[in-house]
């Protein structure tokens, strides 16, 4: 069993437990549930930089990235730096995140927020909406085509943008459908954790132009972004590069100034 399979197996158990504790009706009656969502896809299309900055404390590949952050302060720093949106990891066991992180980020900034999570159930999309997200992530590697369709349509009905993540051509072909806003190519192989920007380059020509193209993982230089832009990418998800510093917001600002 690889790490992705482990995470997903644990996620099924976690979601069942949460469903038994907090009914969907409670999520739907939350203060933020009827909030008008912000479109990350539109923000990326209109941006010159396309940076989506991430809040990530740790990961299975890097035990600790930054455990000393205040997510609200990081969010404010990112917004001041001029990022297009912020990705907030909400998985506790493997990434040290939580839904409370999403809520704190929402209370601190007005920019689009992405709930970065291993979504396998519509209940998690209700959670995302209730805790202030504007965007959800769906990962093609852990979902069937029918699941991608059902979950993405459910999200669109809640006024959420959908970013679908792929790792290879096979995942991309099964995923393309009208209920997606953005197609993300993860340069990190989730089974081996090896990173290569060639993944984004080779898949770029297969992504139809109606979707915003987003490159994820392993982006650590301005040159990499300039290079990826020539392949049609408008969004760049950067986490570790900013989070491994003492001041992620300041780090993001310096990076964006170079762009």
Active site residue 247: no
- Given the residues 54, 117, 127, 240, select the one marked as catalytic: 54
Active site residue 100: no
- Given the residues 79, 127, 216, 240, select the one marked as catalytic: 216
C-alpha of 74 from chain center: 16
Report the C-alpha gap between 226 and 114 in whole angstroms: 24
Architecture of the structural domain at 3-258: Alpha-Beta Barrel (3.20)
Tens digit of pLDDT at every position of the chain (259 positions): 888 999 999 999 999 999 999 999 999 999 999 999 999 999 999 999 999 999 999 988 777 888 888 999 999 999 999 999 999 999 999 999 999 999 999 999 999 999 999 999 999 999 999 999 999 999 999 999 999 999 999 999 999 999 999 999 999 999 999 999 999 999 988 777 789 999 999 999 999 999 999 999 999 999 999 999 999 999 999 988 999 999 999 999 999 999 9
Query: How many CA atoms within 13 Å lie on the side-chain side of 11?
Result: 20
Is the pTM here over 0.85, yes or no? yes
Active site residue 221: no
Active site residue 196: no
- Given the residues 59, 186, 187, 251, select the one marked as catalytic: 186
Active site residue 56: yes
Active site residue 80: no
Token pair belonging to 167: 């790792």
Query: Dihedral, CA atoms, 173, 127, 46, 203, nearest 10 degrees?
Result: -20
Active site residue 179: no
Alpha-carbon Rg for the chain, nearest whole angstrom, is 17
- Report angle CA 56, 123, 158 to the nearest 5 degrees: 90
């Amino acid at each position: 069993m690889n790490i992705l399979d482990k995470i997903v197996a644990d996620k099924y158990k976690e979601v069942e437990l949460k469903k038994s504790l907090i009914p969907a009706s409670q999520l739907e009656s939350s203060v933020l549930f009827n909030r008008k969502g912000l479109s990350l896809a539109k923000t990326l299309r209109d941006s010159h930089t396309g940076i989506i900055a991430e809040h990530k404390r740790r990961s299975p590949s890097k035990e600790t990235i930054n455990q000393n952050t205040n997510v609200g302060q990081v969010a404010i720093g990112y917004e001041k730096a001029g990022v297009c949106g912020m990705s907030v990891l909400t998985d506790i066991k493997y990434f040290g995140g939580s839904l409370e992180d999403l809520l704190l980020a929402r209370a601190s900034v007005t920019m689009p927020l992405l709930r970065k999570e291993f979504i396998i159930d519509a209940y998690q999309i209700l959670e995302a909406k209730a805790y202030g997200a504007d965007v959800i992530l769906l990962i093609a590697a852990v979902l069937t085509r029918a699941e991608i369709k059902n979950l993405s349509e459910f999200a669109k009905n809640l006024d959420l943008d959908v970013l679908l993540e792929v790792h290879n051509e096979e995942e991309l072909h099964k995923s393309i459908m009208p209920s997606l806003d953005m197609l993300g190519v993860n340069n990190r192989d989730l089974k081996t954790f090896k990173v290569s920007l060639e993944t984004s380059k080779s898949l770029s020509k297969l992504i139809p132009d109606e979707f915003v193209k987003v490159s994820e993982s392993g982006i650590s230089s301005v040159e990499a972004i300039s290079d990826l832009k020539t392949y049609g990418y408008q969004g760049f998800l950067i986490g570790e590069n900013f989070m491994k510093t003492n001041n992620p917001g300041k780090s993001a600002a310096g990076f964006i100034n170079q762009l």
